[in-house]
Amino acid sequence: MTVTTTRLRGVEAAPEADTVPLGRRRRWREDAVEAVLFAAGFVSILTTGAIVVVLGKDALHFFRNPDVSLVDFLTGTVWQPQLGKFGLLPLLNATLMVSGIAMVVALPIGLSIAVYLSEYATPAVRNRLKPTLEILAGVPTVIYGYFALTFVTPILRWALGARTVDIYNVLSAGLVVGILVIPLVASMSEDALQAVPRALREAAYGLGATRLETSLQVVVPSALSGIAAAFMLAMSRAIGETMVVAIAAGAGPRLTANPLRSAETMTGYISRISGGDLSYNSVDYDSIFAIGLALFVITLGLNILSGRIVRRFREVYE
């Protein structure tokens, strides 16, 4: 006991008689705000759930049709509803070609813009360029669609020959979808580069690194997880892009590896069928829900993958 008293000397012990109220108190305001925030978060979950249910229900209706089988849907190479052929591959192939071309355009250009903005541009230049980029991101995609059809396609046909390049073609749509997602790639990558601690840049410069060496060999690798996330999101965006492909890629499923031919993508097909005057009970109409579900699964897969990549490459800074 003596020891304890000595140790506590100078520390005023609370008199044991008055107890201090330490019980839980209700804080109405906190509770209300928490409820609102929860509701907001819940709405997004609810929406996702509703989409899955609606798509799933109608897709199920499609697969119940005796003319349709899931295996043919996933492996069939012909999509011709009139003939009862529902093979997804032509549409999927066109979608992957368009988004593949788009990413080949968007990744290098978007990343270069990001590196320029983050590592090279003076604040004055950055403050002008970033809003311009955001305006570009806000242009309605229908305008990009006509840009592809009336500007890019004629150039391609002029350069490569009108015989080799269809009026509606995958390449033109892919290039323009790429341009369309450049602002997304650039802006997200720039955020990732900006998040790299200043101390790392100083470390590199302190070793006698040039700006280019610092940017490409230290800053970009340190921001890799964010850049990968940007890439994945842009890929999802490209896969889901509808207006440009509907206008410029062609209306007719075709399984081809030639990007100069016309080929309808999954989203292009959905928009054509849903915009047409097909009856709501036809198999054709039901098929778009199955395609929609497939799109949903693909983008979900990409998002999960991007989450993994982010976790895998994330560098922990203090």
Task: Assess 208 for contact with another protein (CB under 8 A).
Answer: yes
Which residue in 157, 201, 237, 254 binds another protein (CB under 8 A)? 201
In the complex, least distance from residue 114 CB atom to another protein, rounded to whole angstroms: 18
Long-range contacts of 70-78 (CB under 8 A, 24+ apart): 73/290, 77/255, 78/253, 78/255
Question: DSSP letter at 265?
Answer: -
Nearer to another protein, 66 or 123 (CB): 123
Q: Which x/- pattern over 222-251 shows residues binding another protein (rule: CB under 8 A)?
A: x-----------------------------
Minimum distance of another protein from residue 200's CB (angstroms): 6
Interface with another protein, residue 204, by CB under 8 A: yes
Q: Compare residues 146 and 313 and give the one whose CB is closer to another protein.
A: 313
Q: Among 78, 205, 260, 283, which residue sits at the site for another protein (rule: CB under 8 A)? A: 205
In sequence order, what are the beta bridge partners of 84? none
> What's the sign of the alpha-carbon dihedral 250, 79, 82, 267?
negative
Residue among 78, 109, 209, 260 that touches another protein (CB under 8 A): 209
As a three-state string, the secondary structure of 186-234 is: HHHHHHHHHCCCHHHHHHHHHCCCCHHHHHHHHHHHHCHHHHHHHHHHH
Q: Does 206 bind another protein (CB under 8 A)?
A: yes
204 closest CA partner among 193, 213, 191 = 213
Could you say whether residue 142 binds another protein (CB under 8 A)? Answer: no
> Cβ of residue 198: shortest distance to another protein, in angstroms?
9
312 belongs to the binding site for another protein (CB under 8 A)? no
Number of separate helices (H) and strands (E) present in the chain: 15, 2
| 122 SS3 class | coil
Q: Which two tokens stand for residue 55?
A: 């798509």
Selected binder of another protein within 4, 5, 122, 279 (CB under 8 A): 122
Of 153, 64, 126, 240, residue with least CA distance to 73? 64
From the list 210, 274, 297, 304, which residue makes contact with another protein (rule: CB under 8 A)? Answer: 210
By CB under 8 A, name the binding residues for another protein.
Answer: 122-123, 197, 199-210, 213, 217-218, 221-222, 315-318
